[in-house]
Structures are given as structure tokens and as C-alpha cells.
Amino acid sequence: MKIAVLTSGILPVPAVQGGAVETLVDHYLAYNGRHRLHDITVFSVYHPAVETHEALRSDANHYLFIDTRSLFAKVRKRLHGLTHRDTYYHYSIDYFFRQAQSIIAKSDFDCIILENRPGYALQLREVTRAKLVYHLHNDFLNDTTRDGQALYQAATKIITVSDYINGRVRTCNQDDRKCVTVYNGIDLTPFSVTPSVARETLGYDEEDFILVFSGRLIPEKGILELIEALSQLKDEPRIKLLVMGSLFYDTKGSEDPFMLELKTKAKEMGDRVRFTGYVRHDAIADYLRLADVAVIPSTWEEPFGLTVAEGMAAGLPIITTPRGGIPEMVTAENAIVVPTTGDFARGLAEAIRTLYLDKERRVRMGEVSKQLSRKYTKEIYAKNFLDAVAGI
């Protein structure tokens, strides 16, 4: 089958700048390259680092890069924004899409995969008869979505990253026959090699009990409540928190009110809270395996918890919340699920103390986590995803 992939229009594929969606696209492209299942053309924004990437040597996957970075492109984007006020997403993303659309209109693709951008389906319908497949990583299609019913009707298949997102799409049609859930996958290889980071490197010793948080430092991720929970455990000074996230100490972050609040609260904890700043994706496993427990305290409806999968792959017990797709990933044997209602921080503190005082339980939970993580390999994900596309 001749397939086009329309990426999100923000970060490049290959994922030279990271990005969860972009990395997941890389996974199924790599699988397609090995098995030569389809002829796939990827439409991506340009970045200089893609030019030497090994993925471009594939004869099954092809890449068309659209310039959104140069001065000329930035001027054109701005003009596009001024002349197209009613864009579905941001004018910069719309500019990327319009460039891709003009190429698609002259092509003969059998199928077009829209990566997290269902809003462009109606415009595509005007220029192509290709079947449209939505790959939804977020809650972007439901009964309150702009043009939701028309977008739902335009799709041939809708692939969602969790049953939670699947259920949200089904609010458009309770008798849905288009939706299928394909869980995301991660690369387990870094979790099976010798770690290159030791506890001593970060100032920890063997007696320390390390909690690890990985994610964006925004309110919806529950990081402030986690630090508050730690402050309620003053009688257990060996309990420490390692925070892996966005650049905590950058100027922009320091000016943000939430970041200021987070920084002030963390300072009260002294060396019990450490921030790594940005960690390369291929180094995340090293930091996770320093820890005793992974805490994913999301307070929003998490579509799929990649950080949950990574924590499980590291063989860690999980403390998390019943939000979005997270409950689909964990069980009572490997996770303590804390409600976000009521005194959430106290609930987190109690869960932390429970695991701190019960090493045997932690060991059992970690073993189950490791087993469960094998359901979320990038190979299983890629195969299931491409099988779903082939079934249209």
C-alpha cells in the first residue's frame, strides 16, 4: 500500500529533537523499513540534523521535508497567519499542512495517516480520495470537537493510544466501528544494559530511598503535589525526590508563576529534591534505575502514560493516579493508585511511606512491573499499528 504520513507539524521526523509522537512514528517506520510492508512517504518539518540521519537511507520509507525554519519560511508563515485567520490549529502548523496538501493533491496515495491532527481531514477530502486514518495521541476528537461529526465521518479508521481515548471518540458515535486501540511502545534495550549513571554521581548513597518523577514540569503532571507530599514526610529524611523534566532553571521557566512556586517549594526541601533538567531520551533508563519507586501523579486525563511504561521497564513499583489511560496499564500487583480527589498530597505521602517501609512488597511490585512492561515494546506497538492500517 502507498501511504502518506502527515506528522504533527511541530517537531521533525526522524525525531532528532525528541517528541513522544515523533518517536512513536520513528518506531513504526523502522519496523516498516525492516519488513518492507508498505511504501511510506513522511511529510515532516525540516531540521538540519535530519540530513545525516540513517533513516533516510531506507528504500521503503521516504521523507519530504517542508521548510518552516528559514527567514523566508518564517515570513511566509506570518503572511499565511494574517491571511488565514480561521486556522484549525496554530497558523504555523496550518502553513506546514498547506504545503503538504499541495503535494498530496498531485499524488496517488492509497492511505493518509494523520498523526494527531484530525482537524485537517475535511480539507484533505477536497484534494484526495485516499483513505484517511487518524492516529490519536490526545483527546482531539469527541462530541464537543469543532466539526467533530464531519471529522468522524471522514475517517476510514481511527487508531487511539488507549481505551480512554477510544471512548472519547465513541461519544461521536456509540455504534462506532472505526476505532481500534493500539497501545504505544517503548524501546526496552536501554533498560537491559549496564547503567552509565551511579547514585554517587547525583550525591545519593545506598541508604537513600529515591522517588523519581519524569515528565513536563506543568501543573497537570502533579509535580507540585508530589513535592508537597514529600514535605509531609519530614520524619523520613532518607526519602529523596529526583525530578526529570524540562529545563527547570531556564530564564523562561523562572518567570512562569507555576515554576516559581515549584522552585520555592522545592527549596524548602533542601537536597531532598534534585532536578536533572533535560535528560536525553536514550539516557532516561539510567536515571530511572537509580530509583526505588516511580511516581506518576498526573491530575489530568493522561491519554497514555509513556512514563508509566518506562518506570515499569526499569523494574520499579509505581505510584500513580486513576486518570485517563493510566489504569489500563497498571495492576494492583505493581502499582498504588492514589485518587486525585480530596487531600491528594496526603494520599501520595501515605503511598510513599507504605512502600518505604515494605521492601519485600517493593521487590514483588518491581518484578510485576518488569513483566508488564513487555506488553509495551516498540516492536509490538509497530506491528499492531501497521496491522491496523493494513486492515482498512
CA-to-CA distance for 362 and 384, rounded, in angstroms?
32
Mean pLDDT, range 272-279, rounded to an integer:
86
Minimal CA–CA distance to 309: which of 292, 284, 274? 284
Output the pLDDT for position 283: 86
CA-to-CA distance for 60 and 199, rounded, in angstroms?
43
pLDDT exceeds 50 at position 248: no
CA-to-CA distance for 209 and 219, rounded, in angstroms?
25
Q: How many CA atoms lie within 13 A of 99 on its CB side?
A: 20
Helix 257-268 / helix 223-231 crossing angle, nearest 10 deg: 20
Parallel, antiparallel, or unpaired for β 209-214 and 61-66?
unpaired
Contacts of 189 (CB under 8 A, 6+ apart): none
Residue at 365: amino acid letter: M
CA-to-CA distance for 79 and 172, rounded, in angstroms?
35
For 26-48, the pLDDT digits (tens) are 999 999 999 999 999 999 999 99
**Residue-averaged pLDDT of the chain:** 93
Query: DSSP letters of 89-146?
Result: S-HHHHHHHHHHHHHHTTS--SEEEEES-GGGHHHHHTT---EEEEEESSS--STTST
For 285-335, the pLDDT digits (tens) are 999 999 999 999 999 999 999 999 999 999 999 999 999 999 999 999 999
Mean pLDDT, range 47-69, rounded to an integer:
96
Which has the minimum average pLDDT: 73-82, 216-225, 371-380? 73-82
Query: DSSP letters of 277-291?
Result: E---GGGHHHHHTT-
For 182-223, the pLDDT digits (tens) are 999 999 999 988 888 888 888 899 999 999 999 888 999 999
